[in-house]
Amino acid sequence: MQTNFTPEGLSSDPRMPASEKILRTCVHCGFCTATCPTYLLLGDELDSPRGRIYLIKDMLENGKPATPDVVKHVDRCLSCLSCMTTCPSGVHYMHLVDHARAHIEETYTRSWHDRLLRKVLAAILPYPGRFRAAMLAALFAKPLAPVVGWLPVIGPRLKAMLALAPSRLPTRSTMEGPQGFPPPAERKRRVALLSGCAQPVLDPAINEATIRLLTRHGVEVVLPKGEGCCGALVHHMGQEHDALAFARRNIDAWTAEIEGDGLNAIVITASGCGTTIKDYGFMFRNEPAYAEKAARVSALAKDVTELLETLELAPIRDVAMPIAYHSACSMQHGQQLKDGPKRLLTGAGFKVKEVPEGHICCGSAGVYNILQPEIAGKLRERKVGNIERTKPMLVATGNIGCMTQLAKGFADKGATTPVVHTAELLDWATGGPLPEKLARAGIADRPLREVRLAAAE
């Protein structure tokens, strides 16, 4: 794509040269439209990556403040990054749309209710204590969701927030940081585990299972003092200043561990967080005090399944049941991790089923299912329908946002199909306890030895 940035325009913003390079990579081929969820649903060229690129180019190239039309179409983007997987030219759409979102927040005044909601989300979600208090309040308000939905202007979004809240809140984990977990035998590696923000509140069993699984296989796990939200939630709302502040805190915490006892990896169990942490190097490219440290952190960042593929997992339970694997967009598109989780689950004994339209987003996308509830709801219904076609006993995935979104979709249909994190299933298969969600669904815990004895008889 030909661009017409002036030298003054390129030098006016340190983010501009990278965005101009991305724009020049696009060749207008339109392959991206075939896999863009919003284009598939809405059929509007401006709700496709190609259309959004035109809007972003015009805005950035001419130094314009964002317009209502640009905001509407960029806000509708899920940042699922399916377009990046499809693009034959290698257009780095993620960095371009991130720049556009930040530019929107810097140059556009949103409606009072939109500003208020975004401020509330940014003030609560990244902080586990505040988020837990908000979820407890939501438990009491949840029955009012249908009534709240009728409120003018803010009703649909408030209804979506309450509908996504869990019907019960797990107790706080005793395995929260800062603390370390040595392996029972010889230590082979030492890793830091991202605690996260929303995940330890909504489903602390994920990190608990990960710690058990890794220590059982000789990996020391540390939860460093000072780490927390990765910044992804506010980053994708265009709140760049806050996103970088969260990232700096994590970089400092992990750098202290790297320069202390050392780290072989920084392990992440929420793929949305992983995509952002792996991008810290780019995010801090123009900040000399953090550029090198951020790049080092990004190089060490690994999804838990990447680390598990380097270990020898030995299943001890019979888990030969049909399961659907939902590959989160941040996993398959953001990090290009597609087959590893399925290999691990298959190796543990699960019968993994391919989900039709597996490349299409479930509609979670961070806080998208709150900010754009109508589109997110349609995508959720479509995804759950495709999963049900595989007739699974359970669903495995590697992202807490997708887990929440899919659980809501199954509940809407009156289904009790459990949605469980991949690490929980692998922990169970190799000696950990039966995940609570599976127990509630009536799935039995049966060791392989019992199965073999029964077969021999």
Number of domains observed in the structure of the chain? 4
- Cα–Cα distance, 330 to 403 (Å, whole number): 13
Choose among 233, 205, 208: nearest CA to 403: 205
Q: Is the pLDDT of residue 73 over 80?
A: yes
Do residues 408 and 339 touch, judged by C-beta distance below 8 A? no
Do residues 266 and 196 touch, judged by C-beta distance below 8 A? no
Q: Is the pLDDT of residue 248 over 60?
A: yes
* Range 52-75 average pLDDT: 97
- 274 and 333, same domain (yes or no): no
Q: Is the pLDDT of residue 276 over 50?
A: yes
What are the DSSP E strand ranges found in 345-429? Answer: 351-353, 394-397, 419-421
* Range 19-41 average pLDDT: 96
Question: Rounded to the nearest 10 degrees, what angle do helices 155-164 and 400-412 cross at?
Answer: 100
Written as six digits, the tokens of 123 are: 């003030």
What amino acid is encoded at 137 in this protein?
A
Give the structural domain span for 157.
Answer: 112-164
> With pLDDT > 90 as the criterion, what percentage of the chain qualifies?
86
Give pLDDT, residue 23: 97
Give residue for tokens 């004895």.
453
Residue 206 lies in a domain: yes
Q: Going by DSSP bridges, is the β-strand pair 322-325/265-268 parallel, antiparallel, or unpaired?
A: unpaired
- 128 and 227, same domain (yes or no): no
What amino acid is encoded at 130 in this protein?
R
- 279 and 331, same domain (yes or no): no
Binned at pLDDT 50, 70 and 90, residue 449 comes out as low
The long-range contacts involving 39-47, CB below 8 angstroms and separated by at least 24 positions, are 40/360, 41/375, 41/378, 41/379, 42/76, 42/375, 44/73, 46/73, 47/73, 47/76, 47/77
* Range 174-191 average pLDDT: 93
pLDDT digits over 386-445, tens only? 999 999 999 999 999 999 999 999 999 999 999 999 999 999 999 999 999 999 999 988
- 46 and 148, same domain (yes or no): no
Residue 314 lies in a domain: no
Give pLDDT, residue 151: 81
- 134 and 215, same domain (yes or no): no
Q: How many of the other CB atoms lie within 10 Å of CB of 144?
A: 12
Residue 84 lies in a domain: yes
Written as six digits, the tokens of 215 are: 């220590």
* Omega cis (within 30) before 224: no
pLDDT digits over 118-168, tens only? 999 999 999 999 999 999 999 888 888 888 877 887 888 988 989 898 888
- 101 and 118, same domain (yes or no): no
Q: Is the pLDDT of residue 329 over 80?
A: yes
- Cα–Cα distance, 385 to 413 (Å, whole number): 10
Which pTM value belongs to this model?
A: 0.94
Residue 173 lies in a domain: no
- 100 and 141, same domain (yes or no): no
CATH number of the domain enclosing 86? 1.10.1060.10
Written as six digits, the tokens of 304 are: 């838990």
CATH number of the domain enclosing 192? 3.40.50
Q: Is the pLDDT of residue 211 over 70?
A: yes
Separation of CA 408 from chain center: 16
Give pLDDT, residue 453: 41
Residue 194 lies in a domain: yes
Residue 39 lies in a domain: yes
pLDDT digits over 78-99, tens only? 999 999 999 999 999 999 999 9
CATH number of the domain enclosing 418? 3.40.50.1860
Choose among 410, 417, 404, 412: nearest CA to 366: 404
